[in-house]
Structure 1
Amino acid sequence: MPVNLVLSEYSDMAFATSVAIYIFAMLLYFAEFSSGSARKAVPERELVGSGAPVDKAAGDGPVVGHVPEPARRPWAERVGGMAVALTALGALVHGASLVLRGVATGRAPWGNMYEFGSAITLAAVLAWLVVLFRQSRALRQETSTATLRGLGGFVMLPTTVLLFLSGTVLYAEAAPLQPALQSYWIVIHVSAAIVSTGVLLFAGVASLLFIARTRHENNPTKMVRFGSRLPTSQALDRLAYRATVIIMPVWTFAIVAGAIWAEASWGRFWGWDPKETTSLIAWICYAAYLHARATAGWRGVRSAWINVAGLAVMIFNLFFINIVVAGLHSYAGL
């Protein structure tokens, strides 16, 4: 099928637009985080007696004929709300860029490192939006929600870096799939790898912030401005653990599906190819993290470092193995 160059150009434009939106959202997230994210108490006014409002904080009596003004949201909260709205908009434009690339080429839009990196970052952004939505529903306390929202900058930072690298160093022109990738398994195996990698990226960031928060709690004199503005260590540890334990079956399925595809393409399930070996090492790291998280004496910082090690292996597998090391999985398209 010939490539539709017009749709391919529109895809590239949508990709560049999403990067710009994400960068703006990241700056707003960091602006909210740097402000402290804490809401000040607003004096409560209520109607008593004949209906006149009373300022309970000031101890006033009824104010005849005066209608209380609605409390204005703090500046930081408004900025955080704008950041979330921009993140959702960026995700829509980002998803449109992948859809347009897929329609332009007539295949799944993850046939090279540019498309794969774009899909992974979209999965990470969607995971962040889902977590934020669930937390905002579960925690109606606005202070907790605002503090959690301030973490968006730390999620968007690696996302924008990876997107920038994908759109520059790893960029590949729209083209049909290589013969070795022309299989229905690319939808099953690679999509599972994309979703799991994106969510594990989010989990690794949560573990890194958990370590920073724990160090602040153990030694408040250090990292005061940074550590004190993070959510509690329990909340960060819970985020990292839940994201990992939910996505671990998907990552396991991605490895198993890759082995089945390898048997169909190369006549063997496992050949210790660099990509296969590194993926297995990453799986062992995350299995060790889940085991350590449930083991007395290893909960907390020790288990978090194992999760960070798993993230490092995933990044190594994503860049070094795909780009530098020659193997059967060398489909970077560079």
Structure 2
Amino acid sequence: MTTLAATTNESLAQISNVLIYSAMAVYTLAFFAYIAEWTFGSRSKVARTAAALTAGEGAEKKAASAPAVTVKKAGGTAVLERPEVVVRSSGASRAEVPDGPGAHGGDEQGDLYGRIAVSLTVLGFLLSFGGVLTRALSVQRAPWGNMYEFNITFTTVAVGVYLALLAFRRNVRWMGLPLITAVLLDLGVAVTWLYTESDQLVPALHSYWLYIHVSTAILCGAVFYVAAVSTVLYLFRDSYENKLATGGKPGRFATSVMERLPAATSLDKFAYRINAAVFPLWTFTIIAGAIWAGDAWGRYWGWDPKETWSFITWIAYACYLHARATAGWKGRKAAYLALIAFGCWLFNYYGVNIFVSGSKHSYAGVDG
């Protein structure tokens, strides 16, 4: 134990802790900025979807109120029938429903709050990245040898994925508020219940596969999370659009929020494409883990709880992707399946390490 303590740079470990707490403080400011973006953004462009879904109804009323065409003839006045007017049905197809203008509602004030929120998110990401890096330097190894290190790295990667999407896509700022909310909760759990002193690895983790297997698992989880957020928002937006299409009148708050999101179809496609893109990497993660198990324990697969739930997660996402390509399993049914798959990933992430005993992965640093 003395040798382990001698190889740990306590100063860098403390700097890492300070940077993580600083990142949490900045993320908290970003959280309030995102709320301000949603709250104070203009509502002048709200109800675009309502207009799209009820355009046909308005046209029909206009046609019904149009006066009959009359012509005068020598023997009197002849009344002709009202000319036929072709209008779009009040239930517009989902392809015709426009995307919302974004969280800020399309105005300068909301956009200002949004830009402040994104700037704070970038600063929080840099601080968090610094915390992960100094944690690694304090022990000269990969910074994911226990649940605490896994958490701080996972949240950093999740924010990085969001910022990368923001750099390549214009309309993903709607994801900022749920993302930062989850990141703050995750970091709160990490520093409160999962914190582990900076220390050296157990012998089983001394392998280059630690860099390959665990890093890909973290990246997959971050991307799966982004897709899950989009899936949840899709379910809310889909219900909103269905209510409008059937003549319902959502409340003012629901309208204000839902109208600033992309259309349900856009959210659904976004989630599917992300899940489909990362699924091969998750497959590689499981294969890499099996190879590492062969090197560390002399067997490639032993149905360890972590291995089992990794495979269950793979099966769940495979079923989801297959369902998307099968008639009758699109939309809400597939979305529920995607959330079940993400739930399996979450249980593999938290549940196996915290609640399941007898796992060879008990080196995660969580007692119980």
Could you state the TM-score of these two structures normalised by the residue count of structure 1?
A: 0.84
Corresponding residue number in structure 2 for 1:43: none
Distance 1:37 1:18, change over 3 A: farther
Tell me the secondary structure at the aligned position of residue 120 of structure 1. helix
CA contact (8 A) 1:37 1:150 kept: no
Is structure 2 residue 148 aligned with structure 1 residue 114?
yes
79-88 vs 290-299, which moves further = 290-299
Corresponding residue number in structure 1 for 2:255: 224
Q: CA deviation at 1:282?
A: 0.8
Give the counterpart letter for 2:112 in structure 1: R
Corresponding residue number in structure 2 for 1:296: 327
Counterparts of 1:244-323 in structure 2, within 5 Å, are 244-323=275-354
Distance 1:30 1:235, change over 3 A: farther
Q: CA deviation at 1:323?
A: 1.2
Cα deviation 1:234-270 (Å, max 9, x = unaligned): 2211221121111111111110000001111111111
Counterparts of 1:1-334 in structure 2, within 5 Å, are 2-36=7-41, 74-136=108-170, 145=171, 148-220=172-244, 221-222=249-250, 223-326=254-357, 327-334=359-366
Corresponding residue number in structure 2 for 1:53: none
Q: CA deviation at 1:333?
A: 1.1
Distance 1:113 1:37, change over 3 A: farther
Q: CA deviation at 1:35?
A: 3.6
Tell me the secondary structure at the aligned position of residue 34 of structure 2. helix
**Structure-2 separation of matches of 1:330 and 1:228:** 46
**Structure-2 separation of matches of 1:82 and 1:126:** 17
Q: Aligned-pair RMSD on alpha carbons?
A: 1.9
Same amino acid, percent of matched pairs: 41
Give the counterpart letter for 1:243 in structure 2: I
Q: CA deviation at 1:232?
A: 1.0
Distance 1:263 1:37, change over 3 A: farther
Tell me the secondary structure at the aligned position of residue 331 of structure 1. helix
**Structure-2 separation of matches of 1:74 and 1:226:** 17
**Structure-1 separation of matches of 2:112 and 2:37:** 9
**Structure-2 separation of matches of 1:193 and 1:199:** 10
Q: CA deviation at 1:233?
A: 0.9
Distance 1:242 1:36, change over 3 A: farther
Q: Name stretches of at least 5 consecutive residues in structure 2 with no aligned partner.
A: 1-5, 46-106
Give the counterpart letter for 1:188 in structure 2: I
216-225 vs 320-329, which moves further = 216-225
Cα deviation 1:1-42 (Å, max 9, x = unaligned): 6100000000000011111111211221122123456676xx
CA contact (8 A) 1:110 1:116 kept: yes
Q: Name stretches of at least 5 consecutive residues in structure 1 with no aligned partner.
A: 41-72, 137-144
Q: Which has the larger radius of gyration?
A: 2
Give the counterpart letter for 1:198 in structure 2: A
Q: CA deviation at 1:295?
A: 2.1
**Structure-1 separation of matches of 2:228 and 2:279:** 13
**Structure-2 separation of matches of 1:249 and 1:18:** 32
CA contact (8 A) 1:4 1:105 kept: yes
Could you state the TM-score of these two structures normalised by the residue count of structure 2?
A: 0.76
Cα deviation 1:30-74 (Å, max 9, x = unaligned): 22123456676xxxxxxxxxxxxxxxxxxxxxxxxxxxxxxxx62
Give the counterpart letter for 2:284 in structure 1: F
CA contact (8 A) 1:151 1:230 kept: no
**Structure-2 separation of matches of 1:20 and 1:287:** 38
